[in-house]
Structure 1
Amino acid sequence: MRVLMFGWEFPPHISGGLGTACYGLVKGMVHHNQEVIFVVPKLWGDEEELADFVNASDITIDYREKKFKSIWKNLTYLEVSSFLVPYLGPEEYQKFTDYAIHDRTDVDESIFTTKYEFSGKYGKNLMEEVSRYALTAAQIARDRDDYEIIHAHDWLSFPAGIAAKEISGKPLVAHVHATEYDRSGESVNKPVFEIEKAGMEAADHVVAVSQLTKNTIIRRYGIPAEKVSVLHNAVLDASIIKSKYVKKVPEKIVTFLGRITFQKGPEYFVEAAKKVLDRDENVRFVMAGSGDLLNRMIDRVAELRMGHKFHFTGFLKGEDVDHMYAISDVYIMPSVSEPFGIAPLEAVRHNTPTVISKQSGVAEVLQNAIKIDYWDVDAMADATFALLHYQGISKMFKELGSEELKNLKWEHVAARLVKIYEKTLAQ
């Protein structure tokens, strides 16, 4: 089978879990001898040659075709006053300044040049790029006929998937890695919600990364349950990583690693840290990441007078992430609403005991972790204290967790995805 797949990023140039998931899925597809045409806004030239990559920045669009005009009329366009990333908290969404349906005459003419150089980033022209990406997708879908099905990842690529389906008439699978309700709670950004809803409605089938996400899709977006399949994420390598990296401090280390945004629940991590330190001062807490709540977390740590035991590293990538897991005695993911959450699986690979919120998709597949409600900072503190002080508990989770990873491989996920493709084509 040959799949025309639209994503927004691909390793090594990524901003979060979306790019990692795309990489794992494509690698799993290759394992099963499936062919993928993977389209991204911008290629950097150092991507692993797993797919037939298409650089959207190289595509020339022929505007003489009437269908391109009709596609553009159906696209939404946002003007954004500051930089953003694919998963935003409510504070960042307040910076969105305008929303309108645009026709060809009332946008910058640069979007209608025959070729468009995508930034490949999440800057202030993001929604212009999302719209242009959809036009480019239509051109690619028209020019190529060597694929059977279309697959689009998350809201950034949904308009592209819709446009490709309109041009080609081939079925579309919409892959939901996160919803606007995960990112913002009840303070949803209406335009992004509408893009998500349109993508799911236009799709012939919807893939959700967890049952938690499927429930949201059914309840919040009105998509029929029979149209949605659950396909959990996995790990690229199930083997345990034995790092030689040694921590430079004598204390135990407890780590939060992720975006410092509403969705990830960083404030609960800070409050639990205070409760642990009240019982044992021989612990250091690390918050690794960046996001709109970073300054607020720094202020709260100062208010609680634990700055000497609390460290903010900023955004980590590559080997720095591996080193952080390696020196951590406990990893905590206190997410308020986590569609899946690959980070705990990576922590397990590094033999790091984990505490995860029950409000996460990974809790559906990772049995050997301590699960708490994100808001229950007392339970979070108790779990952390136990893992730090009772070696029998810590050892048990390390051993059982490593065994559990063997069933969480991307090739297993890809095999199930192929069956979803076959079912969708049959229908």
Structure 2
Amino acid sequence: MHGIHGRHSMADDKHLHDLYGGDLGKTVSVFTDTAVRRTRHLKPDIIHSHDWMTFGAGVMASRITGRPFIAHVHSTEMDRTNGKPHEWIFGHEQWGLNQASHIIAVSRYTKNVLTSSYGIPPKKITVIHNGAPIPPARHLSRKDAKLRHPLVLFLGRLTVQKGPHEFLSAAKRVLEQRPDVQFIVAGDGYMLPELIERSCALGIQDAVFFTGKVDAAEARALYAEADCFVMPSTSEPFGLVALEAIAHGTPVILSKQSGASEVVAHAMTVDYWDSDKMADCILTILREKPLSEQLSSEAQHVLHTLTWERQAQNVITLYKDVIHSFAPIPTPA
């Protein structure tokens, strides 16, 4: 498969398996061949592929049809690996981005990653944020705060990108001042055993609950029950979980290294690595009820303005612009 070559170590292979499982290169190659074969008879106006695993199919379809190819970036290898990318994934990702007629990034944060780490010209990238996943929910009634412990929620894949280690470090600092607070780590991933051990090493195992994978109904209940939601991602192109928490009336603390922090006006933001500041934000939300209620209500404005319908229209407008300006690049026979 074009662009997926290069040296990589046994440690890289284990990391790759942890993130993606199995023989990813072969799977992507089979997908590319199958997608191109099954769509060869079509005559599209534009080809639109999402993230690097589909870029090969998009590039090949563009060459066969002579139509423009848009690469839509929801996450990069730099995000997923905390800046330590697997060589051949990074190479294929960069190749696909260079081949694209135009690129959609889901945030300004992602656009900056594409320009600084992949060398993509800024004028080739249009930012179109994700839409809000759900409208404001009918909030499940929270238990009387006087009858239970305050709850702080992390929900996401347990990978280095999502910042679970940083969440536990902040939890340690909060518990030094508020031993009554409980922390929920909801989600599954290859880091789960490591994180359980880490909570024990920090001496906070009695205050941290690991739920494992949760379904949609369980996630809704957790959002509604939590007094505070923390998204401590080390590099988050967007972060739909933040909008899900907001939809359930939960105050949010967001990593500044995220796309969601660009669109949510009423949230506390913190550098992912600053566990002390993260802990201060948690303590402030738990202590200051008027502030908590203001964050809960005011943050929901984004759910009404950042709709999927509006963002889809932005994509359609870009389609028209790209089609109008497209000039096919001749490929060698």
Fold similarity call, TM over 0.5? yes
CA distance in 1, matches of 2:115, 2:125: 8
CA distance in 1, matches of 2:98, 2:77: 16
Matching of residue 94 in structure 1 with residue 22 in structure 2: no
**Structure 1 stretch 211-220 or stretch 122-131: which is displaced more?**
122-131
CA contact (8 A) 1:238 1:408 kept: no
CA contact (8 A) 2:5 2:91 kept: no
Q: Name the SS of the counterpart of 2:246 in structure 1.
A: helix
The code of the aligned residue for 1:402 comes to: Q
Aligned to 2:122: 225
Give structure 2 stretches of 5+ with no counterpart: 326-333
More helix by share: 2
CA contact (8 A) 1:75 1:131 kept: no
CA distance in 2, matches of 1:298, 1:351: 29
More strand by share: 1
Matching of residue 128 in structure 1 with residue 26 in structure 2: yes
CA contact (8 A) 2:3 2:95 kept: no
User: 1:292 Cα deviation (Å)?
Assistant: 2.7
Structure 2 residue corresponding to 1:235, chosen from 132, 140, 144: 132
Spell out the pairing of 1:168-183 with structure 2 (5 A cutoff). Answer: 168-183=65-80
CA distance in 1, matches of 2:26, 2:311: 33
Aligned to 2:112: 215
The code of the aligned residue for 2:199 comes to: V
Q: Name the SS of the counterpart of 1:143 in structure 2.
A: coil
Structure 2 residue corresponding to 1:193, chosen from 52, 77, 90: 90
User: 1:238 Cα deviation (Å)?
Assistant: 2.5
Matching of residue 375 in structure 1 with residue 273 in structure 2: yes
Q: Name the SS of the counterpart of 1:375 in structure 2.
A: coil
Matching of residue 184 in structure 1 with residue 112 in structure 2: no
Structure 1 residue corresponding to 2:103, chosen from 206, 214, 231: 206
The total of aligned residue pairs comes to 322
RMSD over equivalenced CA pairs, Å: 2.4
Structure 1 residue corresponding to 2:191, chosen from 269, 272, 293: 293
After superposition, the Cα gap between the structure-2 partners of 1:311 and 1:419, relative to the gap in structure 1 and judged at 3 Å, is same
Aligned to 1:63: none
User: 1:285 Cα deviation (Å)?
Assistant: 0.2
User: 1:278 Cα deviation (Å)?
Assistant: 1.1
CA distance in 2, matches of 1:288, 1:96: 23
**Cα deviation per residue 1:281-339 (whole Å; 9 max; x = unaligned)?**
22110111122322221112111222111100112122111111111110000111111
CA contact (8 A) 2:36 2:57 kept: yes
CA distance in 1, matches of 2:169, 2:73: 31
CA distance in 2, matches of 1:75, 1:383: 44
CA contact (8 A) 2:270 2:278 kept: yes
Aligned to 1:166: 63
Aligned to 1:264: 162
CA distance in 1, matches of 2:293, 2:151: 16
After superposition, the Cα gap between the structure-2 partners of 1:133 and 1:330, relative to the gap in structure 1 and judged at 3 Å, is same
Which has the higher relative contact order, 1 or 2, with Cα contacts under 8 A spaced 6 or more apart? 2
Aligned to 2:328: none
CA distance in 2, matches of 1:247, 1:318: 24
**Cα deviation per residue 1:321-374 (whole Å; 9 max; x = unaligned)?**
111111111000011111111111000000000001111111111111000111
User: 1:245 Cα deviation (Å)?
Assistant: 7.5
The code of the aligned residue for 2:260 comes to: V
CA distance in 1, matches of 2:201, 2:100: 49
User: 1:246 Cα deviation (Å)?
Assistant: 5.7
After superposition, the Cα gap between the structure-2 partners of 1:135 and 1:350, relative to the gap in structure 1 and judged at 3 Å, is same
Matching of residue 76 in structure 1 with residue 10 in structure 2: no
CA distance in 1, matches of 2:37, 2:93: 22
User: 1:209 Cα deviation (Å)?
Assistant: 0.7
Q: Name the SS of the counterpart of 1:307 in structure 2.
A: coil
TM-score by length of 1: 0.71
The code of the aligned residue for 2:23 comes to: N
CA distance in 2, matches of 1:247, 1:195: 52
**Cα deviation per residue 1:233-256 (whole Å; 9 max; x = unaligned)?**
121332233225769981111011
CA contact (8 A) 1:325 1:350 kept: yes
CA contact (8 A) 1:171 1:424 kept: yes
CA distance in 2, matches of 1:96, 1:426: 40
**Structure 1 stretch 213-222 or stretch 237-246: which is displaced more?**
237-246
CA distance in 2, matches of 1:236, 1:342: 7
Give structure 1 stretches of 5+ with no counterpart: 1-71, 81-89, 98-121
Aligned to 1:155: 52
Matching of residue 252 in structure 1 with residue 150 in structure 2: yes
Matching of residue 138 in structure 1 with residue 66 in structure 2: no
**Cα deviation per residue 1:95-152 (whole Å; 9 max; x = unaligned)?**
559xxxxxxxxxxxxxxxxxxxxxxxx541332121111111221331222x211100
Structure 2 residue corresponding to 1:358, chosen from 256, 270, 273: 256
CA distance in 1, matches of 2:11, 2:287: 38
The code of the aligned residue for 2:40 comes to: R
Q: Name the SS of the counterpart of 1:220 in structure 2.
A: helix
CA distance in 1, matches of 2:77, 2:3: 18
CA distance in 2, matches of 1:92, 1:193: 12
**Structure 1 stretch 345-354 or stretch 186-195: which is displaced more?**
186-195
CA contact (8 A) 2:162 2:234 kept: yes
Aligned to 1:109: none
CA contact (8 A) 1:77 1:131 kept: no
Matching of residue 341 in structure 1 with residue 239 in structure 2: yes
